[in-house]
Structure 1
Amino acid sequence: MDTQEFLSLESDISTQLAVIDNVFVDIEDRTQGFDISDTRHVESVAYQIHNAYSATEELLRLIANYFENQIGDAPRWHSALLRRMTQPVPGVRPALLTKEAFLLLDTLRGFRHFFRHAYASTIDPTLLQANLQVARQAHSLLHRDISDFLDQLRPAK
């Protein structure tokens, strides 16, 4: 990867990370004085966790598109994309995600799926609180993994 390509990738990643970080600002805002008995409050936090994973998935798609063309719309592309980001592509790119980050993000992928399809269900506040902790951990690890990924790709001066 030449310097110009790297700088373009780094800029795009930075822009999407800012989107993710803003979602986490919203999460922290909505969890101040969090009342698990208030359904609207629970749904608001759940929606932001959903947004956090969706924005993260968009980041993964962006990176995959830089190196591997299109992901496609196969029935299980969401899980395939996440798995793919744990694997290096020799001669093309290093792995993006550690196993630890993958497991946390996969949990959030499942929560997002539930949230999107929970038309007749209520959100269990205990499940929400567990996923809130997972989201916070995943956010921290994502920043670490992105930094490591970019360091491995950074052209020598």
Structure 2
Amino acid sequence: MTGEQFLVLEGRIRQELENMARLKAELAAKGLITKNQNAKIAFPAGDSFFLRATGSILHDFYVAAENIFKTIAREIDHSLPADPEWHRQLLVQMTLDLPELRPYVIQKETAALLDEYRGFRHVFRNVYGFNLAAERLERLVQKLPETLISLRQDLQVFLERMREVIAVK
């Protein structure tokens, strides 16, 4: 990977992180994310539209993370999983330290946080919105700030280490 190619990759990663921050801001604007992380989220009772909208944001949150991982898998690893379990395999691939190729992208702890969103993304795409479980949405919304911080920190470390490998200034 050339220095120029790395700069393009870095730009794509930063753009997706900005998208994720916007999704978090949407949830905060509706009062679902507050500074008090122990505060109980109250979804409007019986409002499946609100659940669907929240589910869509959580779905998009994981899609943005997966977009980052797919870009890294294609541009650096030259290996994007292709079998039916490819979403899970891609997440695991990002935890691997690949000597001579790249450092790990995310820590296993971050992957575990993201795996809940990956699982939800699958459910969201395969069930009717009125069947979404408010409790699961609440848990994912509450964990989103922590997950985003962890992902952002891991990606910052990854980008710094890649700059050293590629010798980009």
- TM-score w.r.t. the length of structure 1 is 0.89
Is the partner of 1:86 in helix, strand or coil?
coil
- CA offset digits 1:127-146 (Å, max 9, x no partner): 11111123222111110001
Match of 2:102 among 79, 86, 93: 93
Residues 1:80 and 2:89 aligned together: yes
Q: Report how far residue 57 of structure 1 moved.
A: 0.5
Q: What is aligned with 1:30?
A: 30
Q: What is aligned with 1:3?
A: 3
Match of 1:105 among 106, 110, 114: 114
Contact 2:48–2:129 (Cα < 8 Å) also in 1: no
Unaligned runs of 5+ in 2: 33-40
Q: What is aligned with 2:37?
A: none
Unaligned runs of 5+ in 1: none
Q: Report how far residue 3 of structure 1 moved.
A: 2.9
Query: Quick one: percent identity of the two aligned structures?
Result: 29
Q: Report how far residue 105 of structure 1 moved.
A: 0.5
Distance 1:120 1:148, change over 3 A: closer
**Which sits farther off after the overlay, 92-101 or 16-25?**
16-25
Matched residues in 2 for 1:34 and 1:100: separation?
28
Matched residues in 2 for 1:59 and 1:31: separation?
28
Matched residues in 2 for 1:97 and 1:72: separation?
17
Question: How do residues 8-157 of structure 1 correspond to structure 2 at under 5 angstroms?
Answer: 8-32=8-32, 35-37=43-45, 38-119=47-128, 122-154=131-163, 155=167
Matched residues in 2 for 1:54 and 1:31: separation?
23
Q: Which amino acid aligns with 2:3?
A: T
- CA offset digits 1:16-39 (Å, max 9, x no partner): 222222222222223459534122
User: Number of matched residues?
Assistant: 157
The alignment's C-alpha RMSD in Å is: 2.0
Contact 2:52–2:130 (Cα < 8 Å) also in 1: no
- CA offset digits 1:59-81 (Å, max 9, x no partner): 11011111122414311110010
Matched residues in 1 for 2:129 and 2:141: separation?
22
Distance 1:141 1:120, change over 3 A: closer
**Which sits farther off after the overlay, 141-150 or 27-36?**
27-36
Matched residues in 1 for 2:168 and 2:137: separation?
44
Is the partner of 2:82 in helix, strand or coil?
coil
Matched residues in 1 for 2:117 and 2:129: separation?
20
